[in-house]
A = this chain, B = another copy of it.
Amino acid sequence: MIQITLIQIDNYGPWTVTPGPRAEPDLQTLQSRLYGDLEREFGAHGGIVFFNRFDNLIAISNGMDYDDHKLIQDSIRNRYPITISMGVGSADTAYEAQKIATEMIQKGGGAQSASRCEVLNIDSLVDDDDSYVQIAHIDIDDVTGLLTDVETAFDTSIKVYEVLNALMVELSQIGGLCFFIGGDNYMAPSNNISDDILRDALERVDTKTGVRLKAGIGRSKTPAKAADMADIGLEDIRAGKVDDTVIIYDDRK
């Protein structure tokens, strides 16, 4: 089972324009610092956070309980001009788990409700013995040679975001999720998705966007370990240790 936490800033839209619009560089600094801090807070417990939309961040939180989440919520309140609500859900697939987590947040009140403040709704936590996380670290072959060193920076970005969009749609249709992690790299929480199904999905994106994708897939009890396994898989593909575009490493045995 995979456990996902949806982190939503309370009443952020109205706050950004009250009493008047706030300078955008300040909002960008606030949003990126909040993301960096949440990455540390979840990372200290073996979790991992993706920025998603910056006002709605998605974390994989296997192994973290109510108190772990509460400590983070309190710490953000003491250091930021905004507060955060969190919804936690567990399921067999990442898509399903984030669906439950979203419902937990929506149950606590709308994103712009002035009254909702620091909701912490947990549908269910994953038990230690059936805690299992699969993460695919997806990467474009030779983005440096094909794009970064030859095209304009923005044209390279258009292609990278086109691939991101295609991956988000493909993954969500097979129970997974996909997030941009910088450069030409994407991370896809993909519990219960076999390497074959994932390879097909990557190939469909290749066809649609004209790049060649590869992915290391990691399976472990905790999110950070799964990501580490996925990194190693990606390096082994790069090193030609395997003649495939996907490879799975599993440290749970």
> Is the C-beta of A208 less than 8 angstroms from some C-beta in chain B?
no
> Is the C-beta of A203 less than 8 angstroms from some C-beta in chain B?
no
Which of B51, B105, B183 has a CB less than 8 Å from the CB of A12? B183
Q: How far is the CA of A67 from the CA of B79 in the complex (A)?
A: 26
* Cβ–Cβ < 8 Å partners of A36 in chain B: 28-29, 32-33, 36
How big is chain A's contact interface, by range?
Answer: 35 or more
- Report whether B158 and A169 are in contact in the complex, using a CB–CB cutoff of 8 Å: yes
Q: Mark A214-241, 1 if CB is under 8 A from B, else 0.
A: 0000000000100110011011000000
> Is the C-beta of A252 less than 8 angstroms from some C-beta in chain B?
no
Q: Mark A53-64, 1 if CB is under 8 A from B, else 0.
A: 111101000000
> Is the C-beta of A41 less than 8 angstroms from some C-beta in chain B?
yes
> Is the C-beta of A124 less than 8 angstroms from some C-beta in chain B?
no
In the complex, identify which listed stretch (A126-134, A160-168, A190-198) lies at the interface while the others stay far away.
A160-168
Given A32-B36, A144-B13, A161-B164, decide whether A56 and B156 contact each other with a Cβ distance below 8 A.
yes
> Is the C-beta of A78 less than 8 angstroms from some C-beta in chain B?
yes
Q: Closest CB of chain B to A50's CB: distance in Å? A: 8
Residue in chain B with minimal CB distance to A177: B154
Main SS at interface, chain A: helix
* Cβ–Cβ < 8 Å partners of A54 in chain B: 182-183
> Is the C-beta of A243 less than 8 angstroms from some C-beta in chain B?
no
- Report whether B149 and A106 are in contact in the complex, using a CB–CB cutoff of 8 Å: yes
Q: Mark A1-41, 1 if CB is under 8 A from B, else 0.
A: 00000100000110001001111111111111101110111
- Report whether B168 and A165 are in contact in the complex, using a CB–CB cutoff of 8 Å: no
* Cβ–Cβ < 8 Å partners of A80 in chain B: 79-81
Q: Closest CB of chain B to A227's CB: distance in Å? A: 4
- Report whether B144 and A228 are in contact in the complex, using a CB–CB cutoff of 8 Å: no
Residue in chain B with minimal CB distance to A46: B71
- Report whether A21 and B79 are in contact in the complex, using a CB–CB cutoff of 8 Å: no
